[in-house]
Amino acid sequence: MKLLAGFAFLLSVSVSLAEQASLASSPQQLSSLSFSEFTRFGHAAFPKYGVRIKQSSFCDEAVKAYTGYIDVEARHLFFYFFESRGDPLNDDVIFWTNGGPGGSSSMGLFMELGPCRISDANGTKVHADSWNSKANVFFVDQPIGVGFSYADYGKTVDTTEAAAKDIAAFITIFFEHFSQFKGRPFHMAAESYGGHYIPIFASEVYDQNKRLVEAGMAPINLKSIMIGNGNTDMSVKFPSYHDIACTTASLPPILDIKTCTRMKQTVRYMFIKDINSASYQIVISQVPRCQKWLKDACIDQLDALSCQAAYAFCDEELSNPILDSGINPYDISRQCGGEIMDALCYPVTKHIVDYLNRQDIRSLIGVDATFGNFTIVSLDVNEAFERRLDVFHPTQYYVSALLERGIKTLIYVGTYDAMCNHVANEQWPLLLEWTGQKEFAGTPLREWFVDGEKVGVTRSAKGLTYLTVDGAGHMVPFDKPVVALEMLRRWLSGKDF
């Protein structure tokens, strides 16, 4: 048997011939899976990895749905998979994950682009503009500790690079066992911190392909990445907060003049004298200081203590004024609905949590009986990634590397988002160093339309596309489902915007 050269988790002598035979006998058609219990399978080349999967019916009864776990020794990643409403035997496959870090992909499923939505306490309702209208779609709770994903005894993942290995292995195992999807065009998509996840995940899949071919296995047909309102390049993110909150970049300014002036003003000295001594107060220019400190401590060299201090400073001076304003930072056209740390400004998230904490639903989709309460966001995961300063790993370089290798990239942004806004998400692709930079940067923005109505602006060159969605916030498919689905249709079909 030819092994996968270069994998850290190569087949060990502990995998017997009998075990290899049992792995080879796994089902090759999803329709043969049970509704009542998991079917378990793995792959001889990935001895530490296994997958449990079953059929489920809890969303749109007209669509075949599957749920299960990616088992990585003592770690267990939960996923949902929905076949396409259109042509499941021929349509592309999309991998979706939410951001955070720490956000459950149940938000993407039940709020945004899944085949059903939860809008109140009455459970799921069919969503006509789901992305599985055009593709077969995965939703994965990752990394460990997010959503229904868990570890048996404290085994955690706290960097995107580590999480990428689990995702790449799972994708290979899935396509190897369910041959009906083998060779299909494959796209990796996410929003928010997904701007960090997806470039690294897709790069791991791409690099793994060479080893798969060497082992005589079919490579993953990776075609594109899609990033919505992404957190990709921190060097431009913080300065953009002033533009989105204090200028008319999206809407009229949402912060008071004093706060905006503090965020923007240039460095100067004011001498304040008193009776006993002369003293002076330094009024700091928050944007330049934030940019310089982040560059020195987090980008040019990653000095943990200094970088954490810089990160805290920029948060306090540039993002906290937006968070403290009462405006929904994910959609500045509206007020925050509830506490941001509780419902993320969207009360619907509580209905999703209540639904997924129902024992009948857990039993239906196969959640392990030992699992505790479901939460929409894991603060523990968020803090673990923050301690590792994962957000400052240079994700944009992965994007340029993927573009150089022919992997198309879509950057789409709702114009009403403040946290991962269109100002920053237009700037970093323009600054991106790759062979198509000059042509992309030299391409003017133009309007794009859906059903004759202008819905945003776009520019595209050499496989890289940037576009905005007018009137949408952080979660474009939630706010503008019809436009989001048409965007997806054009992207998958290769049609121009």
Q: Is 339 exposed, middle or buried, given 0-12, 13-18 or 19+ CB atoms closer than 10 A? A: exposed
Q: What is the pLDDT of residues 138-196, one digit of tens each?
A: 999 999 999 999 998 877 789 999 999 989 988 998 888 888 898 999 999 999 999 99
Task: Give ∠ CA 128-135-367 in degrees, rounded to 5.
Answer: 80
Residue from 158, 470, 474, 479 carrying the catalytic annotation: 474
- pLDDT for 265: 64
- pLDDT for 42: 82
pLDDT < 50 stretches in the chain: 1-27, 266-284
pTM, to two decimals:
0.89
Q: Per residue in 78-91, is it b (16+ CB within 10 Å) or e — as a string?
A: bbbbbbbbeebeeb
Q: What are the extents of the domains in the chain?
A: 17-234+376-493, 255-324
Prior bond of 101 cis (ω within 30°): yes
Q: What is the pLDDT of residues 75-117, one digit of tens each?
A: 899 999 999 999 999 999 999 999 999 999 999 999 999 999 9
Determine the Cα–Cα distance for residues 108 and 96; give it in Å rounded to an integer: 8
Residue from 91, 158, 417, 479 carrying the catalytic annotation: 417
Determine the Cα–Cα distance for residues 164 and 166; give it in Å rounded to an integer: 5
The structure tokens listed for 6 are 């270069």
Quote the mean pLDDT of the chain. 87
> What φ, ψ does residue 169 adopt, rounded to 5°?
-65, -45
Q: Which of 145, 157, 159, 156 is nearest to 392 (CA)?
A: 159
- pLDDT for 287: 65
What CATH architecture does domain 17-234+376-493 belong to? 3-Layer(aba) Sandwich (3.40)
CB 435 within 8 A of CB 451: no
Residue from 106, 192, 203, 250 carrying the catalytic annotation: 192
Q: Which of 109, 162, 111 is nearest to 140 (CA)?
A: 109
Determine the Cα–Cα distance for residues 204 and 13; give it in Å rounded to an integer: 26
Q: What are 50's strand-pairing partners?
A: 42, 71
- pLDDT for 109: 97
Q: What is the pLDDT of residues 354-370, one digit of tens each?
A: 999 999 999 999 999 98
Round the CA-based radius of gyration of the chain to a whole number and report it.
23
Number of separate helices (H) and strands (E) present in the chain: 18, 17
Determine the Cα–Cα distance for residues 81 and 68; give it in Å rounded to an integer: 9
187 is catalytic: no
- pLDDT for 178: 82
DSSP H/E element including 70: strand 65-72
474 is catalytic: yes
